[in-house]
Structures are given as C-alpha cells and as structure tokens.
Amino acid sequence: MTKIIFPAFAACLFLGFALLSCGLQDIPYISRVMDPVHTGLDGTSDIRLPSSSEYGFGSTDPFTRFVIFYRIYLSNNSHAADTVDTSQDRIAINSQLNSDYIAASHWTDPTNTRVNTAGVHNFFVNTRGFFSLELEGVSIANVLGRGSLGRNLSLDFPDIPGQAPRLLLDYGTPNARYYDLRRAGGRPHFDFEPVPNIDGALPFFNHDELLYGPDTIRDREINVDVALQTTGQMEHSYVMMYIAAMGASGVPPIPVFSQPTFLGIFRLPSPF
C-alpha cells in the first residue's frame, strides 16, 4: 500500500512545484492609486500619482500607464448639494449610476483581498458600459505614462459655461500641463459616434445634442458611453470616473491592472 501512496504523493509534490515554476508565483502586482481629494460636483478631484519608488519596481516592472474609465449619466435632477455621498443622492441623479457605483465598490475596496485585477477592464468596459478617457490632441497613454509617476493629477469640471473639463498635471507649478478631456468614440477604433462633435472635438458638455437629440435616445450607435434616465425630462448630465494603473506582463504580453480607485462624480458644464 505504501509503495502506491508514496509515488502518488511524490507526483503531487512534483506537479505542484512544476506549476509554481511555470510562473504562477510571478503574477505581477500593481499598487492601487491613493484615494483623491474631492472638492465637489463643480470642481476638481486631486490625487498624487504613485512614484516608481512607491511601486517598488525596477527597469522590468510591468507598469505602462494609468487608465481612466468613465461613463456619462443623463438626469432630470439638478443635484443641489456639492457632493454625492449616499445611495439616495446617486439614485436621484440616475438609478444606473447608483447601480454602477455599487457594483464597482467590490473592486475599489482596498480591504478586499479577493479582487482578481485581471478582470478590471472587462468589468468596466464589457460589463458596466464604461469607456477609457481620451484627451484632445494628444495621446493619453503618453500623458499618463511613466513620465506621470509621482506627479499631481487633477480633473477639473468648472461651473463655467463654455470651458471644457480638463485634466491637469502639476497644477500651480511651472511644469503645469493642461489637456481638454475627450470622450471615447469615432471610427475606426469604436463602433459608435458621440455627439456633440464640435469641430472635431468630443468635449464633456451638457449639450442639447447630448440631452435631446433623437439619435442619442433612439439609435444606440450614438452615444453608447451615455446612460439614459428612465423617467422625466433629461436636462442635466453627470460623469463618474475611476482610475487604475495598467501594465503588461508575460510573453506574449497580457494587460495587468491595479485595483481601481474611485475619482468622483462630476456635473458636465454648459457649452454656452
């Protein structure tokens, strides 16, 4: 009996060692971005991006860039308070916003050690209908690449008609950089067309075409990044955003992510 059990036991040990030797222990870990400082719906979300030393990586680390996921929500509610803190607040804006927020809480909770971060992109994009933020006139992959490590990042949604929301790096310093936010969309990269399209720009504006355009409501090849309101007249729009560190590992390389971090809920400004 022992002659049968021992080889089987030895085989199990060998297989276990072989599995570990195949790289299962080398799955890379990327620390989450710290929680931001919020200043309200009509304001900014400020964060300090992790530095390379904080990540503890060397020249072979998997980090490549930060990615920001967003989704726009139409609403019949002009939220009076400056912040959105409760489920009741989120439901009053748009019930889908509250549903998305609750679903994402499992992923964003830093005490949740069971999050499989390999599924971050699939959760936001394929499951919840988020898209990756872009910037006007410049690649966000370059702006939020390795050169952004250790820098201050702000998302600015001013309550100033006609001023497009912006991403700011190192605000208030001689090295400050400003970039207008751009919605995802437009062929050949995406199978939908966002409106409004203002001279080629795709800004985050509470524009009539976003709210009332018949294509927006009836044709889901238009504004797929927008969640409609189920009741009432849509007069307002908000956006919810999350940030995650992104990298690549393995041969061939596959995407890896940190846990996502909630950036905030912002009111889209008027274009006029």
pLDDT band per the 50, 70, 90 thresholds, residue 24: very low
* pLDDT of the residue at 189: 60
* pLDDT of the residue at 230: 74
CA distances from 176 to 148, 151, 170, 172, 216 (A): 12, 10, 5, 6, 36
* pLDDT of the residue at 221: 75
pLDDT single digits (tens) 179-191: 999 999 766 566 7
* DSSP state letter for 104: H
Rounded distance between C-alpha atoms, residue 172 and residue 142, angstroms = 21
Instruction: Name the β-bridge partners of 180.
Output: 166
Name which of 188, 166, 185 is nearest 177 in CA terms.
166
Name which of 267, 205, 203, 269 is nearest 75 in CA terms.
267
* pLDDT of the residue at 38: 79
pLDDT greater than 50 at residue 203: yes
Rounded distance between C-alpha atoms, residue 70 and residue 65, angstroms = 16
pLDDT single digits (tens) 33-70: 999 987 788 888 999 999 887 665 554 568 899 999 99
Tokens standing for residue 176:
């400050």
Q: Which residues of 64-74 are buried (b: 16+ CB within 10 A; e: fewer)?
A: bbbbbbbbbbb
> Cα–Cα–Cα angle for 82, 83, 89, nearest 5°?
115
pLDDT band per the 50, 70, 90 thresholds, residue 257: very high
* pLDDT of the residue at 7: 47
50 cis-preceded (ω within 30 degrees of 0) = no
* pLDDT of the residue at 3: 42
* pLDDT of the residue at 10: 45
Which H or E run contains 170?
none
pLDDT single digits (tens) 74-121: 999 998 888 899 999 999 999 999 999 999 999 999 999 888 898 999
Q: Where are the domains of the chain?
A: 30-267
pLDDT band per the 50, 70, 90 thresholds, residue 213: low
* pLDDT of the residue at 31: 86
pLDDT single digits (tens) 154-178: 999 998 999 999 999 998 899 899 9
pTM of the model: 0.86
Q: pLDDT averaged over the chain?
A: 84
* DSSP state letter for 260: P
Tokens standing for residue 109:
């909770």
- DSSP characters for 48-90? EPPPHHHHT--TT--EEEEEEEEEEEEES----SSS--SHHHH
Q: Which residues neighbour 144 within 8 Å (Cβ) at sequence distance 6 or greater?
A: 65, 66, 67, 68, 153
Rounded distance between C-alpha atoms, residue 222 and residue 211, angstroms = 12
Tokens standing for residue 96:
């889908």
* pLDDT of the residue at 20: 41
